[in-house]
Amino acid sequence: MRHGLYLPPFGAFADPRTILDLATSAEEHSWDGFFLWDHVVRPPGDPQVIADPWILLAAVAARTTRIRLGPMITPLARRRPQKVARETVTLDHLSGGRLVLGVGLGVDTGGELERFGEVTEPRTRARVLDEAIELVVALWSGAEVSHRGTSFTATGVRFLPVPVQRPRIPVWAAAQGAHRRLAPLRRAAALDGIFPVDTSIEHLAWILDTLRGLRGTLEGYDVAVEIRPDEADTDLEVMEPAGATWAMWSFGMDATRRDVEEVVERGPVR
């Protein structure tokens, strides 16, 4: 199992220098990954100081050499696929092939979709997400792409360079771990990994059994689960034998810089 830090770039963690210090320390202390939430607005009661995760990840990529990094997760329904394709390939090159792209429906918490006129209806967002993933992956190929879908159009375009990672940048799909819905798992099964949010050991078992049925095997497939730092031993004891391949050490918005530093400096439990 590999171990990554999973942080919201809000409040104390909106300071780019803090994020860079934590990421470089994580690499020094043998962590495997560094992942950031992707939001533009937070509801009242949450920190209102927010940093852009993509700019932060570019800085992390430039200051580290080994750890994997990425957004967890980017709601593609509020992004233009051509922009995401360019950003991800550039970040993959900057990092020397260490990017993981986390994708999902996103949430409208705080109105971060509705207040900008974005799609809010979940099934429509799911259709937009699936089409966006298809177009981003096609643009990564380096081949000429022509696409005319419900939400996006591309006419005879070719994007170069291609990503460092082959056959492509790994894509992990988010899924709501507490809900037994097949559509998110079908999406995840066609990609390179899954990030079930707020899942239990019982739901994780169901998710993995379903994915095995859809894929035939989970060999080489990433399963990332949230780990609570204050209950890490208990979480790891059940999640790793169940089939998790990544432990995402998750810090909430009430965490302080020192809270994270203490976990980072202890190093991941292996």
* pLDDT tens, residue by residue, 12-28: 999 999 999 999 999 99
pLDDT tens track for 104-153: 999 999 999 999 999 999 999 999 999 999 999 999 999 999 999 999 99
> With bands split at pLDDT 50, 70 and 90, how would you rate the model's confidence at 177?
low
Q: Could you tell me which residues come within 8 angstroms of residue 153 by beta carbon, excluding any fewer than 6 positions away?
A: 147
Q: Which candidate, 49, 43, 22, places its Cα nearest to that of 34?
A: 22
Q: Whole-model pTM?
A: 0.96
Looking at residue 66, its amino acid is R
Confidence of residue 181 (pLDDT cuts 50, 70, 90): confident
Average pLDDT over residues 95-108: 96
CATH of 2-266, one of 3.30.360.10, 1.10.3470.10, 3.40.50.300, 3.20.20.30: 3.20.20.30
| Residue 198 contacts residue 227 (beta carbons within 8 Å) | no
- Separation in Å, CA 112 to CA 58, 115, 175, 254: 23, 6, 19, 20
Phi-psi region of 60 (alpha: psi -120 to 50; beta: other; left: phi over 0): alpha
**Domain extent listing, the chain:** 2-266
